Amino acid sequence: MKPVAYLMVERNNQTSYFQTTIPTRDEKISHEPYPIYNTWVGLTPEEIEDFTVRIYNCRTGAEAHEIVLAILRKAQEK
């Protein structure tokens, strides 16, 4: 399965952002890329909105990473 996006967590200060392109070599040096796979199938629009709001309000990359794991667990339950 091919990732549809990446959660990019900056190695020094743990800030994060999402990108839909494959991380470059330079990006991999400065950031830890976490691949995001197409697991949205089965989530309701309300669940997707909830996760979107939670990710938007993240203050650290670690917090965003935990939310991504929660998304994956929720999708696997379906």
pLDDT, tens digit (0-9, with 9 covering 90-100), for 6-25: 999 999 998 899 999 999 99
Torsions phi, psi for 50 (to 5 deg): -60, -50
Q: Whole-angstrom Cα distance, residue 42 to residue 20? A: 21
pLDDT in tens, 39-78: 556 777 788 888 888 888 888 888 888 888 888 888 777 6
pTM: 0.51
Q: Say how many domains are in the chain.
A: 1
Expressed as residue numbers, the domain containing 57 is: 5-77
Q: Is 50 helix (H, G, I), strand (E, B) or coil?
A: helix
